A and B are shown apart, each in its own frame.
Chain A
Amino acid sequence: MSIKTVLPQFPQFTVHLFKFKNVTNSKEIKQNLIKGDKRYDFSFINAQTVLSEEQLLSAVYRALLDHTQDKIRTKTIHSEVIFSLSPTQNIMDALRRFGIQDDSTDLIVIKIVDSNSQEEFDLSVVEGEEVDITDEDLKSSAILKTIKKNYKLKSEDLTVLSHQIVAAIQLRGL
């Protein structure tokens, strides 16, 4: 169902990716996020803005690289992943575009934990149905028009589009 992976260059971190549909409490999640409630320490991503697993993991890679080089721009690794999805340097704008919205029903949730401690986490804060997170599932909730607008891209070929998104993520602000 979900994906659990360790990026070879960052063995100290274990990355979990989940996808939900029919989420009913996005507004509540967002409020608790803003309050800084520890139980909400995840990346909550608006699934409509995500086309591929490659897009997500490339943002995770960017966030972990910047983190290990002491270059992260946001407060936590989880907000940094959302910022890393963005092609621009504006953090507020990135969180607004790629992060959870009050009315989000399709969510991607990412948790990055210390591989040694394997800390426990509780996903019951999300009220919704967990679904698979293959490229096919991601495409089914992706809104291409929004994605193309976010990245200022226009390719009709989704493989090309996904590769162009990766380049935008890797090169943001550099």
Chain B
Amino acid sequence: MSDHLVELAKSHLTNIPVSLISQGAESLIFTTTTHPYMETSDEGQQYIVKFRPPKKYRHPQLDAQLTKRRTLAEARLLQRLYGADGISVPSIIAVDARNGILWLEYIGQQIENGVSSLKNYLWLEDSKADYESLLRAVGDMIARLHQMGIVHGDLTTSNVMLQKHGSQWAPCLIDFGLGFTSDLVEDKAVDLYVLERAILSTHPVHSDNYNSWLMEGYKKGYGKDQGKFKQVMKRYEDVRMRGRKRSMLG
């Protein structure tokens, strides 16, 4: 079905053996154990290759421009965020913007039910004493993101990956493909609301707890800037109301 897109990606990746791990509307995600320029010492080390294929229905020249622009937009957000205090995102390894290719650090590892995304981890439910601290950490990180004037744009529980730091899991935000810079409370409130809905839809029983931990972390992440936090909260309640009305009508 997507074979020709995989072939196209491979044609831009001479001598790089890649395996497709995900295909979305915008991009194909591959893993590889071959680094584009370093001789890897670490066996089993993986890298992510994110490929935005051309879209046939667009004019070729316009399409090439858009592909390049979107690849760069995502890369620039990652560049701004990488290394920022209290924020974790994958590092950039290489960029071939003209071919819509972004090489990223691989985040996470295998757990019982797949990759260590927040989504999979929360599915494990039983005996996870660290859910509270983890969800607080996620909230804290999103607050810092918002304080930098960046909105993720697609905060689902699959776009929050978990990384082992010693014996503890720590969040790492991935997929800034829909991210943008904004200082509007509305955009930040919607970002939070999207995550709340994602948690609610997968974990209806515990979602109240989960979401309150998330919010407590989000509040804490604002540090001394509680005024800003309150503005976002206020709008967040509005966004929730609108959401509820919409679902009652729908």
Contact = CB atoms under 8 A, between A and B. Distances in A.
B36 A7 contact: yes
A57 B94 CA distance: 11
Nearest to B36: A61
Interface string A141-174: 0000000000001010100110110111011001
Given A69-B98, A171-B72, A174-B72, A11 B14 contact: yes
Given A7-B37, A9-B16, A171-B76, A160 B83 contact: yes
Contacts of B78: 167
From DSSP, what is the main secondary structure of chain A's interface residues? helix
B37 A58 contact: yes
Number of contact residues on A: which range applies?
Answer: 20 to 34
B43 interface: no
A5 interface: yes
Interface centre among B13, B15, B76 (most CB of A within 10 A): B15
A54 B14 CA distance: 20
Given A9-B14, A171-B76, A58 B94 contact: yes
Interface string B5-44: 0000000011110000000000000000010111100000
B93 interface: yes
Nearest to A168: B79
B14 A174 contact: no
A171 B95 contact: yes
Interface string B175-209: 00000000000000000000000000000000000
Given A7-B36, A157-B83, 17 more contacts: A5-B39, A7-B37, A8-B36, A9-B14, A11-B14, A53-B38, A54-B38, A57-B37, A58-B37, A65-B96, A153-B83, A163-B91, A166-B92, A171-B75, A171-B92, A174-B72, A174-B95
Interface of A: 5, 7-11, 53-54, 57-58, 60-61, 65, 69, 71, 153, 155, 157, 160-161, 163-164, 166-168, 170-171, 174
